[in-house]
Amino acid sequence: MADPDAQQRNEQLVSQLESSGCLRDPAVASAFRAVLRHHFLPGRPLDEIYEDSAIMTKMGDKGVPVSSSSQPAIMGIMLQQLQLKAGHRVLEIGAGTGFNAALIAHLVGRDGHVVTIDIDADLCEQARANLAAAGIEGVEVVRADGAHGWPPAAPYDRMILTVSTSDLSPEWLGQLVEDGVLVVPLALAGPIQQSVAFVRRGPALFSTEVTTCGFMPLRGEMAPPPPAPDGGLEPWLQGPAHASGYVLPAPDLRAGFEAWLALTQNAYFRPRLRAEDAPVFGLRETAGAALVVPQDDGYPVLVFGDGDGAAAALAAAHRAWAQTRPQVDQLHIEAHRMGGEAVAYGTDRTVRRPHFTFMITTPS
């Protein structure tokens, strides 16, 4: 039964997402109008449900959230990246509450087909119950580790992960049709994530859109390795540091300088100076590094070990960035199978992972 209060709150939320520019595609906006989020969050107050916020739904053993209903704004952005059409066959990895799968099912219509996978049986059961309560048909909920995708009867036209990963699975590529779209929250530099829309061309994937996002990491076989000791064991990191004389303005950190540096410089480095402290960032070289270490009065670049060259490179990178303040959504990312024929033309940064090599280029 339609709940007029929920309908009204949902209308306010969708209008807000339209006016803020998150929802631009009328088809995606009408999916958000037709599929009500409260069916997927039973027992929660409507006030909470119709806010533009992520809602945690399951905590893991270590008190870390392992499932949530994602923030509606990023869901809308990613569904737009996915460019869904009626009749598409779609795989989602990260079923969670089933809400995103329901929106996808609405967008692909009766001729389409949606498979959504979650690694936890209880979440799959709840997602099935939520989809039934919302009256959504055409969604198959499967309990599996999304690391292997899910074998399709015919290749998927679209694939989306609503959980982050630091690599791609060869099976995702293999299960996607030529020219098909994969939308994936990709962590290529520490915790910094981008939702990348890739198009498959033969054995490689080419980005068409990149936008900042924040998702919980995949569990299971493709779970990211535990953070390395960050090279923090190097003796020169424990030794004395001296000021380079270069100080970063605090607003530049908020404006995305670190994300830009991380995705454009192979020497990007994010160690912890002490186990109990938050990580710092900067550039490294063979026996030293230049790191932006927050102090009470700002963000000076400190030189560790033989890091004067890194300090000069960091200052130069910052000056260049400050001229036009480019954002990571201007980057182009290619993903090639390890050992595949990667043409690394004008590549600024290469990130090698066990299955894929990512080549990141800046706009010329």
Ligand X SMILES: C[S@@+](CC[C@H](N)C(=O)[O-])C[C@H]1O[C@@H](n2cnc3c(N)ncnc32)[C@H](O)[C@@H]1O
- What is the rounded CA–CA span in Å between residue 278 and residue 271? 9
Beta-sheet strands, E only, within the chain: 55-59, 65-69, 89-93, 113-118, 139-143, 156-161, 176-189, 192-201, 204-213, 241-248, 268-269, 281-285, 288-292, 299-305, 332-337, 349-352, 356-361
91 binds ligand X (CB under 6 A): no
In eight-state DSSP terms, residue 227 is: P
99 binds ligand X (CB under 6 A): yes
Outline where 182-333 has alpha helix (H).
235-238, 250-254, 257-264, 308-324
- CA count, 13 A, side-chain hemisphere, 46: 12
- What is the rounded CA–CA span in Å between residue 153 and residue 195? 27
Q: Toward ligand X, which CB reaches closer, 216 or 335?
A: 216
42 binds ligand X (CB under 6 A): no
Stretch that binds ligand X, among 17-25, 104-112, 119-127, 284-292 (CB under 6 A): 119-127
Minimum distance of ligand X from residue 220's CB (angstroms): 4
The count of other CB atoms within 10 Å of the CB of residue 326 is 16
Minimum distance of ligand X from residue 152's CB (angstroms): 16
Q: Toward ligand X, which CB reaches closer, 70 or 207?
A: 70
Binding mask 178-217 for ligand X (x = CB under 6 A): -------------------------------------xx-
Minimum distance of ligand X from residue 90's CB (angstroms): 12
Q: Could you say which residues in the range 143-182 bind ligand X, by CB under 6 A?
A: 145-147, 162-163
List the structure tokens of 273.
């100076």
Q: Is 30 a catalytic residue?
A: no
Minimum distance of ligand X from residue 80's CB (angstroms): 15
Minimum distance of ligand X from residue 51's CB (angstroms): 15
- What is the rounded CA–CA span in Å between residue 73 and residue 323? 30
81 binds ligand X (CB under 6 A): no
Q: Toward ligand X, which CB reaches closer, 152 or 288?
A: 152
Q: What angle do CA 171, 206, 104 make, to 5 degrees?
A: 65
Minimum distance of ligand X from residue 340's CB (angstroms): 24
* Amino acid occupying residue 12: Q
Going from the C-alpha of 20 to that of each of 81, 138, 197, 303, the distances in angstroms are 17, 31, 21, 42
Going from the C-alpha of 82 to that of each of 50, 93, 95, 167, the distances in angstroms are 23, 14, 16, 19
Which of 67, 68, 69, 70 is flagged as catalytic?
A: 70
Q: Toward ligand X, which CB reaches closer, 123 or 342?
A: 123
Binding residue for ligand X, selected from 181, 188, 196, 218, defined by CB under 6 A: 218
Q: Toward ligand X, which CB reaches closer, 163 or 196?
A: 163
Stretch that binds ligand X, among 139-147, 193-201, 231-239, 254-262 (CB under 6 A): 139-147
Nearest Cα neighbor of 342 from 360, 328, 330, 329 is 360
Binding residue for ligand X, selected from 97, 194, 207, 244, defined by CB under 6 A: 97
The residue sitting closest to ligand X, measured at its beta carbon, is 96
Q: Contact, 4 vs 36, CB < 8 A?
A: no
Name the residues annotated as catalytic.
70
Binding site for ligand X (CB under 6 A): 66-70, 93-94, 96-97, 99-100, 117-120, 123, 145-147, 162-163, 215-216, 218-220
